[in-house]
């Protein structure tokens, strides 16, 4: 028994001393093709404005690996894949008229404002399938939850956005307009309490309702496709986050 243990120890010692064994913690080869995914300068992470047209360029040059990586990074930030969204006009109204509550680019909820967006949209919201005829929409992209600022101040692609208050953002996009426009009732009291500070500032919502294309589906009295449900306790139970976070 002792002899067997001795042989095992000798074998382990020989393996540890083998200089040819690969180091599992060693840095891998650089396959970034010059792209930057972590930096203190947001413009550097966004490749100095090269992302919006990257996929068009990649299709024109299918053998260019760097362009394909740029296209993938562009999709990470700006591709909604046709998922359900909210009316673009509503998002714009909140950003334009409720800056104190939502912050630039919804930064009050933990999103990162897109410095290249002339409409001050955040990174993580992009055009998607219209919610009704003539009603353009925005939906989440990968970057809403998987792009964040690190504790040291650097921006990082793929970092979990622990600062993103998804529940409060949902209330801003769904509950507040419903209450302001007299939409469906049966809202959860906790959700109403979380949105109560907005209750005295509903005039811009009514102005938007009167002049916007949302009238084509009479939202919320006659909901558009994919209109938000009442923020009930049942909705909260199935949500990804509580109303207050």
pTM score above 0.85: no
The CB density around residue 112, as the number of other CB atoms within 10 Å, is 23
- β-bridge pairing 135-140 and 86-87: antiparallel
Q: By the 8 A CB rule, do 95 and 105 touch?
A: yes
pLDDT of residue 181 exceeding 70, the answer is no
> Of 12 and 107, which is predicted with more confidence?
107
Q: What is the pLDDT of residues 109-126, one digit of tens each?
A: 999 999 999 999 999 999
Q: By the 8 A CB rule, do 110 and 163 touch?
A: yes
Q: What is the pLDDT of residues 184-194, one digit of tens each?
A: 566 677 776 66
Rounded to a whole number, what is the distance in angstroms from the first to the last CA of the chain?
59
Around 217, how many Cα atoms within 13 Å sit in the side-chain half-sphere? 16
pLDDT above 70 covers what percent of the chain?
67
The closest of 240, 106, 104, 94 to 167, measured between CA atoms, is 240
pLDDT of residue 45 exceeding 70, the answer is yes
What are the residue boundaries of the structural domains of the chain, listed by start?
79-237
Q: What is the pLDDT of residues 201-233, one digit of tens each?
A: 555 555 555 555 444 444 444 444 445 555 555
pLDDT of residue 77 exceeding 60, the answer is yes
Q: By the 8 A CB rule, do 198 and 101 touch?
A: yes
**Which ranges in the chain belong to alpha helices (H)?**
2-16, 42-45, 54-60, 65-78, 88-97, 99-102, 143-146, 166-170, 176-180, 189-194, 203-211, 233-237
At 159, list the tokens: 């970092």
């Amino acid at each position: 028994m002792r002899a067997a243990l001795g042989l095992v120890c000798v074998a382990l010692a020989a393996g540890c001393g083998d200089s040819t064994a690969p180091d599992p913690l060693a840095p891998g080869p650089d396959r970034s093709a010059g792209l930057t995914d972590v930096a203190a300068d947001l413009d550097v992470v966004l490749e100095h404005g090269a992302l919006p047209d990257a996929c068009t360029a990649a299709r024109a040059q299918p053998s260019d690996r760097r362009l394909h990586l740029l296209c993938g990074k562009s999709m990470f930030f700006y591709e909604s894949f046709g998922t359900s969204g909210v009316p673009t006009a509503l998002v714009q109204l909140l950003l334009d008229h409720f800056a104190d509550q939502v912050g630039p680019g919804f930064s009050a909820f933990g999103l990162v404002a897109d410095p290249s967006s002339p409409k001050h949209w955040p990174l993580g919201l992009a055009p998607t399938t219209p919610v009704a005829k003539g009603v353009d929409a925005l939906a989440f992209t990968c970057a809403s939850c998987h792009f964040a600022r690190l504790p040291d101040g650097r921006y990082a692609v793929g970092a979990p956005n622990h600062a993103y208050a998804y529940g409060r953002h949902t209330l801003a996009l769904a509950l507040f307009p419903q209450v302001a426009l007299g939409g469906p009732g049966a809202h959860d009291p906790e959700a109403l309490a979380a949105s109560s500070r907005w209750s005295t500032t509903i005039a811009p919502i009514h102005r938007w309702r009167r002049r916007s294309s949302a009238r084509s589906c009479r939202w919320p009295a006659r909901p558009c496709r994919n209109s938000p449900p009442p923020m009930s306790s049942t909705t909260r139970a199935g949500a990804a986050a509580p109303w207050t976070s």
